[in-house]
A and B are shown apart, each in its own frame.
Chain A
Amino acid sequence: GAVVSQHPSWVICKSGTSVKIECRSLDFQATTMFWYRQFPKQSLMLMATSNEGSKATYEQGVEKDKFLINHASLTLSTLTVTSAHPEDSSFYICSARADRNYEQYFGPGTRLTVT
C-alpha cells in the first residue's frame, strides 16, 4: 500500500506561538508533496507545493513567511505555522506524490486550533 501519515492529528496552541506539522510517506519516496487547508464545511485549498531539496512554491495569497515549509528528505515534509492566530485555525492536509508511479496519496489531516 501507500500510506501517508501526519503528526500531530490535532493540536491546540496559544496565539503567538508556532506549531509544526509533519507529513510522512511511510512506504514510498516522494520528491513532491502538497499542503492544503480546509475550512469547516468547505473544500480543500492548495497552499503550496513542496519539493525535496528546494524551496516550496506558494499559491497566490499564501504568506510564505507565515507558513514555513521544509522538505528535508524524500519521505518528510513539514509545515510550520509561525506566530499563529485564531484565524489560522483550520484542518491542514498534505498529499505526497509517489516517485515510483506519480500517484498521489493524502494524509489524514491535522486539526489546528489556535486559542
Chain B
Amino acid sequence: GNSVTQMEGPVTLSEEAFLTINCTYTATGYPSLFWYVQYPGEGLQLLLKATKADDKGSNKGFEATYRKETTSFHLEKGSVQVSDSAVYFCALMGSGNQFYFGTGTSLTVIP
C-alpha cells in the first residue's frame, strides 16, 4: 500500500539556519511526491512537487529531490526565516489521485 513517513517534530531553528525535514515513502507504482505547508489557522498550500525520479521541486528557497533508490523526498532550505514557521506535510499521490500524507512537522524559526 501507500504510506509516507515523515520526520517528527517539533523543530526549532534560529533564523538563517539550515533546514532538513526527512520524508520517505512506500508506494505501488511511481507516485508523484509533494510538500505542502500549513500556516497557523490556514489551509494547505502546495510548496513544491516532483513527478518522477530525480526530479527536483523548488519554491521560495525550498528544495526536494525525488530519490527512487532511497524512496525519499527530503525537504531542505539553506537559510530559514521567521516567516517559514509552519507545519510541513510530505505527501504522495496514488494512482487514483488521492493523497497520502505524512504526520506533519512543525517548524518554529526564532529571530
Chain A residues with CB under 8 Å of chain B are 32, 34, 36, 41-46, 49, 93, 95, 97, 102, 104, 106-109
B97 touches A102 (CB 8 A): yes
B98 touches A106 (CB 8 A): no
B93 touches A104 (CB 8 A): yes
List the 10 shortest-distance A-B pairs measured between CB atoms, nearest first: A108-B43, A106-B44, A43-B101, A43-B103, A44-B101, A109-B43, A46-B98, A43-B104, A106-B43, A97-B97
Other 4 A-B pairs with CB < 8 A, given A34-B98, A44-B101, A97-B97: A43-B89, A93-B43, A106-B36, A106-B46
Kindly state the separation between the CA atoms of A106 and B45 in the bound complex, as whole angstroms.
7
A107 touches B43 (CB 8 A): yes
Residues of A within 8 A of B31 (CB): none
Residues of B within 8 A of A45 (CB): 101
Kindly state the separation between the CA atoms of A106 and B101 in the bound complex, as whole angstroms.
13
Q: How far is the CB of A71 from chain B (nearest CB, A)?
A: 14
Given A106-B44, A107-B43, A108-B42, verify A42-B103 contact (CB < 8 Å). yes
Residues of B within 8 A of A104 (CB): 93, 97, 99
Residues of B within 8 A of A93 (CB): 43-44
Residues of A within 8 A of B103 (CB): 42-43
